[in-house]
Amino acid sequence: MLIGIPSESKQGALVAATAKTVSQLTNLGYDVIVESGAGDLADQPDGAFTAAGVRVGTTEEVWAADVVVKVNAPTHEEIGRLRQGATIISMMAPGRSPELLEELQAQGVTALAMDAVPRISRAQSMDVLSSMANVAGYRAVVEAAHEFGRMFTGQVTAAGKIPPARVFVVGAGVAGLAAIGAASAMGAVVRAFDVRPEVAEQVESMGAQFVELDRSVFKAEKSSDGYAKEMTEEQRAATAAMYDEEARAADIVITTALIPGRPAPRLLTAETVAGMRNGSVIVDMAAANGGNVAGTVADQRVVTQNGVTILGYTDLAGRLAAQTSQLYGTNVVNLLKLLTPEKDGNLTLDFDDVVQRGITVVKDGESTWPPPAVQVS
């Protein structure tokens, strides 16, 4: 089968394959064609792909492939280019994209959502959400440091003492832990909170202090799929004062709190932001889902009246395009290894496997979303 790798029309710096991963795809028996220029902004020029032994071609050639692999969900126009019976693999946010799924059905294709890989240990090597969140968490710290314009590390010099920056991270999932690691490595004093108290140990192992609240209010907050649930009123009251206190004491606040399938919880109020110091910085990583912070605008840099900068960038992983593309491409290779058991370049789907069932949102024009629930392992 022929795999097509198109240019990304949204967040165009990313690409779903690199010179290294196309070689791995050809080792699985596939032919690969990459759209000319698709990898330019991820340090993957056309020549790197041809040197890896695959073809570089036009938009039309790439979209005529048997399997089209991309990062972002296909647009209306792109779906129209897919041939009937083709397979499209990309992130699709299937739970929030009913119109996309309808269009894919109408086109008579099979659609595999990279962002619907079940969060079980066996599927970690295909988990693009983790790959992206990890890079984005690191980049959030880089953006914050740039905006802050001061050193993170404390110093004692002959000319005087510089205190370390104080960073508060809300939500210690993949992105939050990456942010904690990056900020700690740069010398900041980092504190973090998550509604799932079981992550305290991971927070501490990354170099931060876990902000403790009454454990009887926050016991085992994870749902059966390993994610957080929405807070109860009692929990909301218990956290409000803590968020206010921590944010006012911080130079940098990085918020990452998400609840699957729900708008992001609003955690920092306008009053809290108004009480923060002039020159402090908030990076709201939940901006694409409505934001954790009052005043966040998705994809914008906002400066409040009291001089607090709120960054709502939703393309943080795309700002480190070379590495994000490499990680995404490797996740794709790992998925295709699973779907190509004979290494014969033929993609097959086994619905008895929870991973393959979980990612298949449309099969030959028929809706297969949502899949049956999976327990985390």
Binding site for ligand NAD (CB under 6 A): 119-121, 123-124, 127, 129-130, 133, 170-176, 193-196, 226-228, 231, 256-260, 265, 267
Q: In the bound complex, what is the minimum distance in angstroms from residue 292's beta carbon to ligand NAD?
A: 8
Q: Is 43 a catalytic residue?
A: no
Q: Is 119 a catalytic residue?
A: yes
Whichever of 230 and 364 has its CB closer to ligand NAD, that residue is: 230
- 337 within 8 A of 331, measured Cβ to Cβ: no
Q: In the bound complex, what is the minimum distance in angstroms from residue 260's beta carbon to ligand NAD?
A: 6
Q: Is 66 a catalytic residue?
A: no
Q: In the bound complex, what is the minimum distance in angstroms from residue 350's beta carbon to ligand NAD?
A: 19
Whichever of 65 and 228 has its CB closer to ligand NAD, that residue is: 228
Whichever of 193 and 210 has its CB closer to ligand NAD, that residue is: 193
Whichever of 213 and 322 has its CB closer to ligand NAD, that residue is: 213
- 32 within 8 A of 96, measured Cβ to Cβ: no
Q: Is 124 a catalytic residue?
A: yes
Q: Is 224 a catalytic residue?
A: no
- 165 within 8 A of 248, measured Cβ to Cβ: no
Q: Out of 43, 125, 227, 319, pick the active-site residue.
A: 227
Strand ranges (E), the chain? 2-5, 31-35, 55-57, 67-69, 87-90, 110-113, 155-157, 160-162, 166-170, 189-193, 209-210, 252-255, 281-284, 301-303, 309-311, 360-363, 366-367
DSSP code of residue 268:
B
| Dist. CA 46–CA 175, nearest whole Å | 32
Q: In the bound complex, what is the minimum distance in angstroms from residue 309's beta carbon to ligand NAD?
A: 22
167's CB contacts (< 8 A; 6+ apart) are 141, 144, 152, 179, 183, 188, 189, 190, 191, 250, 251, 252, 253, 254
Q: In the bound complex, what is the minimum distance in angstroms from residue 223's beta carbon to ligand NAD?
A: 10
Among all residues, whose Cβ is closest to ligand NAD?
173
Whichever of 109 and 132 has its CB closer to ligand NAD, that residue is: 132
Q: Which residues are catalytic?
A: 119, 124, 127, 130, 227
